[in-house]
Amino acid sequence: MPEEIRVLSPIAILGYGINEESLRRGMAMNPSMIGVDSGSTDSGASYLGAGAMYQSRKSMKRDLGLCLAAARSAKIPLIVGSAGLAGSRPHVAWLIDILEELAREQEQRFKLAIIRSDQQKPYLERALADGRVKPFIGVAPLTQEAITACGPIVAQMGTSPYVAALEAGADVIIAGRSCDSAIFGSFAIWKGYDRGVALHMGKILECAAMSAMPPTGRDPVLATLREGSILLEAPNPDRAVTPRSVSSHMVYEVEHPFLQEEPEGQLDFSAVEFEPVKDGRATLIRGTRFHRRNVATHRFEGAARRGFVSFMIGATRDPGLIAQIDAFCVGTEQQVRELEGAEQDFHIDWKLYGRDAVLGPSEPLRGRTDLHELGILAQVLAPTQERAHDVAALLEARMIGFAYPGALTRTAHIAFPFAPLVTDGGGCYHFSIMHIVEVEKHDDLLDLFPIEYRSIGAVHG
């Protein structure tokens, strides 16, 4: 029977701002490792596509520094997965750079494992040709054209590379794109725990105290594993983990409440039981099942650029214009299209804030015209930033000058709050690859997710 282990998740995403007092309380509970899920596809495709960073270096350094100091002083592993949100090469490199700076400042010595998740197009092309690629619900089947047009591609690693790094004696692991569950669960699997319990724990821990009441991603939770059970509690006494808080969190951001696909198989929560313990402050979870798959599958994520955007934000306080705003949008766009002549290489998108910008066609009140004020976001998509900017500038001028029936003003129809009026938004990215790839039986997972070891601080044994 494996020894009891305690896994601490200090924060939902590294860089959100760790609560230091809660971290101290968590460390006082004697954790066996610290894990942080640093990533998500939730914030859109531009972080992967353009290699952009989600957090500032300052906030990332603060949180990583707190975790590093805590883990090194307790001599326990620190595992950070999905580094820098997207987990691709520039994100991992950025986090390593910050970590090395912190190690110098804190005078720490440790063995670092770096696990990468960047994928090559030929591998995916081969998988496509072999019929080993399936789309997620709502995603079009993968095509050769989509692979060709795609920018950076990553795959979500499972537990194998993490277990290999732990086995090699890594003190700190910085990994690229990962399954949330693997970041925490791999440690438990390495310690001999059942895969279902280990991965279930990881699923719950990845969002830190989002599983507590009141929920927050900025406070820690601690999971204690014993054979077949997970005890979940919040070190901060102002929060409690209740059966309701944790069961409702388990279905957060997923389509299916009971079944979740992992690289090595399927997690099954249909028989899970929740028991309140410690005077209702903690919850004991039992009954997780895991259905193992013969061949591993990995989620591949790739971002492609649609083009470049430029936009304006403005508003109208004219009831006459608000009543005919659709005609205004169509009319100004038409004038821009006439002026652009043969160059029709752009798209214009309107968001009318105050009417239906949030829900679009699903807005039940979209027909309302008795609004006293209406916010307008007009954005242009074009093949280059320069084209997007130029078309947006033309559109801005038409919005200011468009003559509409019953206008009480001769010009200056729109209140724009900024100058310059046009803002260049950079590349517009989408997830053109969001597919499940079955690995080949003979594939070495370490080819997909290679590990590099470094001795940080000084010569390491």
Residues of this chain that interact with another protein (CB under 8 A) are: 41-46, 136-139, 243-244, 247-248, 250-258, 272, 274, 306-307, 309, 347, 349, 351, 357-364, 379, 381, 428-431, 434
Cβ atoms of residues 175 and 82 within 8 Å: yes
Nearest to 246 by CA among 262, 266, 222, 263: 222
Q: How far apart are CA 452 and CA 461, in angstroms?
A: 16
Residue 420 Cβ vs another protein, minimum distance, rounded to whole Å: 22
Closer residue to another protein, CB minimum distance, 136 or 418: 136
Q: Which residues contact 121 (CB under 8 A, 6 or more apart)?
A: 147, 148, 150, 153
Closer residue to another protein, CB minimum distance, 104 or 244: 244
Beta bridge partners of residue 424, listed in sequence order: 310
Residue 140 Cβ vs another protein, minimum distance, rounded to whole Å: 10
Q: How far apart are CA 40 and CA 28, in angstroms?
A: 29
Closer residue to another protein, CB minimum distance, 362 or 409: 362
Closer residue to another protein, CB minimum distance, 101 or 268: 268
Continuous segment of H or E residues that includes residue 46: helix 46-50
Cβ atoms of residues 95 and 84 within 8 Å: yes
Strands 229-233 and 282-286: antiparallel
Closer residue to another protein, CB minimum distance, 290 or 429: 429
Residue 298 Cβ vs another protein, minimum distance, rounded to whole Å: 14
What is the spatial order of strands in the sheet that 259-262 belongs to? Answer: 259-262, 265-268, 289-292
Per DSSP, the chain holds a count of helices (H) and strands (E) of: 14, 19
Rg (CA), the chain: 26
Q: Which two tokens stand for residue 332?
A: 């100004």
Residue 273 Cβ vs another protein, minimum distance, rounded to whole Å: 9
Residue 208 Cβ vs another protein, minimum distance, rounded to whole Å: 16
Nearest to 197 by CA among 185, 208, 180, 179: 185
Closer residue to another protein, CB minimum distance, 17 or 360: 360
Closer residue to another protein, CB minimum distance, 140 or 446: 140
Residue 11 Cβ vs another protein, minimum distance, rounded to whole Å: 18
Q: Which residues contact 443 (CB under 8 A, 6 or more apart)?
A: none
Closer residue to another protein, CB minimum distance, 184 or 308: 308
Residue 371 Cβ vs another protein, minimum distance, rounded to whole Å: 16
Kindly tell me the sign of the dihedral angle through the C-alpha atoms of 358, 40, 424, 419: positive
Closer residue to another protein, CB minimum distance, 51 or 77: 51
Residue 271 Cβ vs another protein, minimum distance, rounded to whole Å: 10
Count CA atoms within 13 Å of residue 368 on its CB side: 14
Residue 331 Cβ vs another protein, minimum distance, rounded to whole Å: 20
